[in-house]
Amino acid sequence: MAYLIKTKTEDEIKKMTVGKLKKAYNDLAADYNKITNLEYTYCPQCGEFITSKNFYTSVNTKSGIEHLGCKKCILDMATDFDKKEKKRYDNREKTINVLRMMNLPFIESDYNSQVQLLADDTTGRLAGTAFQAYITMIKSLPNYRGKTFEDSEYDVDASKLNGDVKVVQKTLKTAIKRFGNIYNNKDLIWLENEYQDWVGRYPCENKSQELLYQNLCVNQLNINKGQAEGKDTKDLIKTMQDLMTSLQIKPSQSNSNALTEAKTFGELIKKWENEKPIPEPEDEFKDVDKIGLYVDVFFKGHLSKMMGLKNGFSALYDKFISKYTVTKPQYDEDTDSEILFEQIFGSKMEEE
């Protein structure tokens, strides 16, 4: 990626020789010619002139260059970047918004196929995002030629499934690893969510229990499909009851108190947070008594001080305690000892 040469200041020009001034002028003129020849294009997102190769083409502009931004900036606008994982994820809503600004069609089925390809790639061979692959596809294939955003096609079911593509991609990869690739994306999402719901409510301590919960989810999926098609699901329901018996989670086997006793404290906290999470307090009720400050100062800060740790809490403790601390005055041994003596006993000496 190339950027324009910075112009010289008046002081810099005064210090330059004629030869160097001529060279600087020729370099600047070369950049100017590259702008007029459309070799450099201004990116409003970066705020810089960069090489036109870093921009998408466009049939909607006179220059034939997409002026919404460079490829990197458009990618930032259309996707999410997880700083912690240092990984980029697709975002359906952002993608639609960017395509709207670029006046390009959004074909739900084609976009979802790119998402699925990335989700099925458990080896990590495919690089980039579904958005990048989709842009390349619609700009290269002839069947997209001449189409605008008004020609977009939406899949209602897919839109419900892919509201958050980042979550869907993670869930699909986990579901394929757990249930295999014999199911479609919609079934995999349902199976994985159902599995997480089961293991979040009941103990799952070993692989045999994991396998039983997997079979329980698959059996429930078959029951739902069978009932939707009007088939007899009596045997499937019996199988489900047998699986619940093996897991000891049938209502007749244990009541809610017994289930609570079987859970660890961490599992109980997770259960309570999922079922009845503590809502965020209103601004007027947020730490009105400075309890959070007192915990930071007298527990975390004091503990850090005791352990000899220098961090933000120990610094906060020193700052807070300094208001209530009396420091002993320091005197020089030679010059100030007489002053200190006079302040204590007075300056007059009684004659005998």
Structural domain ending residue among the three candidates 34, 68, 102:
68
**Contact residues for 224 (Cβ-Cβ < 8 A; gap 6+):** none
- Last residue in a domain, options 182, 211, 236: 182
- Domain with 213, as residue range(s), is 183-277
Ordered per-residue pLDDT tens for the chain, 352 residues: 455 566 777 787 777 787 777 777 777 777 767 677 777 888 888 888 888 888 998 888 888 889 898 999 999 999 998 888 888 888 888 999 999 999 999 988 889 888 888 887 766 666 688 999 999 999 888 888 888 888 887 654 444 444 455 566 677 778 888 888 777 777 888 898 899 989 888 888 888 999 999 999 999 999 999 998 888 999 999 999 999 988 888 776 655 555 555 667 787 788 777 777 777 777 777 777 778 888 888 899 899 889 888 888 888 888 888 888 887 766 555 556 666 667 777 665 554 4
Are 212 and 204 contacting, i.e. CB atoms less than 8 angstroms apart? no
Within-domain flag for 342:
no
Domain boundary pick from 17, 49, 68: 68
Domain-located, residue 10: yes
- In a domain, residue 347? The reply is no
- Rounded to the nearest 10 degrees, what angle do helices 185-201 and 108-120 cross at? 60
DSSP string, 265-315: HHHHHHHHHHHSPPPPPPGGGSSTT-HHHHHIIIIIIHHHHHTT--SHHHH
For residues 170 and 207, membership in a common domain is answered with no
CA 61 to chain centre: 34
Distance CA 270, CA 276 (A): 10
Q: Token match 């030629």: residue? A: 145
Q: What is the domain count for the chain?
A: 4
Using the 8-state DSSP alphabet, how is residue 326 labeled?
Answer: P
Q: Is residue 343 part of a domain?
A: no
Residue 329 in any domain: the answer is no
Do 113 and 201 lie in one domain? The reply is: no
Q: What are 42's strand-pairing partners? A: 49
Entry pTM: 0.41
Both 246 and 227 in one domain: the answer is yes
* 337 located within any domain: no
162 and 216 co-located in one domain: no
In a domain, 338, yes or no: no
